[in-house]
Amino acid sequence: MTGIADDPFAHLDATAQADLVRTGDTTPPDLLDAAIRRIEYLNPGINALASTAYDQARERAETLDRSGVFAGVPTLIKDLMPYPDQAVGWGTRLFQGMPAPGGSDYTAALDRAGLIVLGKSTTSEFGLLGTTETQAHGPTRNPWNPSLSPGGSSGGAVAAVAAGMVPVAHASDGGGSVRGPSAFTGLFGFKPRPARLADNGMPTESPTAGLITEHCVSRSVRDSATWLRATERAGLDDPLPPVKTLSAKSPRPLKIGMFLADVAETPPSAEAERATRQTADLSRQLGHSVTEIAPPDVDAPAIGAAFFTLTGVVMGAMFDQFRQMMGDGFNPDLLEPYTLELVQRATARGPEAVPAAMTALAQARAAAEARMQGFDMLLSPTVPWPAFPLGTYKPTEDPDHLMAFVQRVAGYTFIASVADWPAMSVPLFETGDGLPLGSHFTAPASEEATLFALAFQLEQAAPWAPRLIKLQEKLACLNG
């Protein structure tokens, strides 16, 4: 028997695993040891982990307060977020193995929920690329086809959850890094508004702070909703309702606007169009109205330039801090060419580039809000095509090629980040080649509950968990 086939927990979501702990049918050490066996068995072929902290995790499992909503559930933290006493590598050779100085309000919320962090998941260097194949760790492989990318920057998180290593994993999203990888790997990927969440430790004055949000990738809607409730900022006027309330009540009939071309007016692949139209048909069957519309009328080149400018400026400021901290240990030769090029180009634009970039994003947000008028939600593809071959967008490729890729792969998701909307990718479609492909819903600000109510309805009407179980059974046979 293999590490998956004889594992009673492998196909359970995080909520089900926590229920077993709560009822006394299993223990946190049992869940943890089973997850470690799955990781040791599957990860060599997938490469989803940047580092492990098994001893620390075992110590926590033995002494855990079992009152948390995810008490005893093993998970991974994306290697962009510091977590106490674990390495934080940022996906770069510069920091491999460097211990984090501490955590944040957000990681403290994960601890209170009872999650057991057994390591870090791989990411693109500093989260800059929509694929996860770094010079630091090599390529992370899509469990559905190991020659394909799981996307990025949360590639390790989605690969680990889709393969069944852990039932749920932390991820982060600045322009689509939760939603895009989830679409490529058959997972549910939700992006809450940053203002809803506990502080993640990012300086609020950072030009990109309003774009970046923390959440998870999951195999079930209920895990995602539970994770959000556990990590919400204290004192919200509109906290997310209890998960049982969200799952039990169907949403009111929604007016949904569907667009197929991205914000640059580039059409999707035939598979992505079919996936979106199939989702629209299912939504109509569930009582919602769907109207085909044009994409948000934004200046796509301007918001792309703004994103790269702000990213380069932020990275340049980080590098200045690293030089002060590390002295002669700061070696830019250990950084990837794409990262260095973004910083160089942003620096060359001069200080006046930041206000211009912020203005471009404000204009894009206004255009997005105008398109949302008259609708409860917008529907589009999550990504323009199914998972793509590894090696196509390595960080050593031509920077212009990579920047064009980033704009294309985030052509549907980035607008929700700019508009400060909650959004989700729902894994309802399978291509003729057997690859998953998600559909993307966005809603106005503070409508996370409406998105979750629709997600529960879609999940019940067209469950995707059986496809993930078949994938994990296939992986067990291939490795057996």
pLDDT tens digits for range 197-228: 999 998 888 888 889 999 999 999 999 999 99
Average pLDDT of 56-68? 96
Whether the CB-CB separation of 162 and 220 falls below 8 Å is answered with: no
Check 124, 153, 247, 283 and give the catalytic one: 153
Please give the backbone phi and psi of residue 335, each rounded to the nearest 5 degrees, phi first. -90, 155
User: pLDDT per residue over 375-402, tens digit each?
Assistant: 999 999 999 999 999 999 999 999 999 9
pTM over 0.75: yes
Alpha-carbon gap, residue 220 to 469, rounded angstroms: 12
- Pairing of β 138-139 and β 133-134: antiparallel
pLDDT at position 437 is 98
Tokens of 43: 């990860």
Which of 262, 348, 364, 261 has its CA nearest to residue 306? Answer: 364
Alpha-carbon gap, residue 323 to 343, rounded angstroms: 15
Check 51, 124, 172, 177 and give the catalytic one: 177
Burial zone of 248 (CB within 10 Å; 0-12 exposed, 13-18 middle, 19+ buried): exposed
User: pLDDT per residue over 319-371, tens digit each?
Assistant: 999 899 889 889 999 999 999 999 999 999 988 899 999 999 999 999 999 99
Annotated catalytic residue 78: yes
Looking at residue 434, the DSSP 8-state letter turns out to be S
Please give the share of the chain, as a percent, with pLDDT higher than 70.
99
Res. 1 pLDDT band, cuts 50 70 90: very low
Annotated catalytic residue 153: yes
Question: Distance between the two ends of the chain, CA-based, in angstroms?
Answer: 7
Average pLDDT of 103-115? 98
Which H/E stretch holds residue 378?
strand 377-381
pLDDT at position 351 is 82
Check 51, 78, 124, 154 and give the catalytic one: 78
Average pLDDT over the chain, rounded to an integer: 95
- Does 2 have pLDDT greater than 60? no
Three-class DSSP category at 325:
helix
Three-class DSSP category at 291:
strand
**Cα dist from 265 to 62, 259, 395, whole Å:** 54, 10, 26
Res. 479 pLDDT band, cuts 50 70 90: low
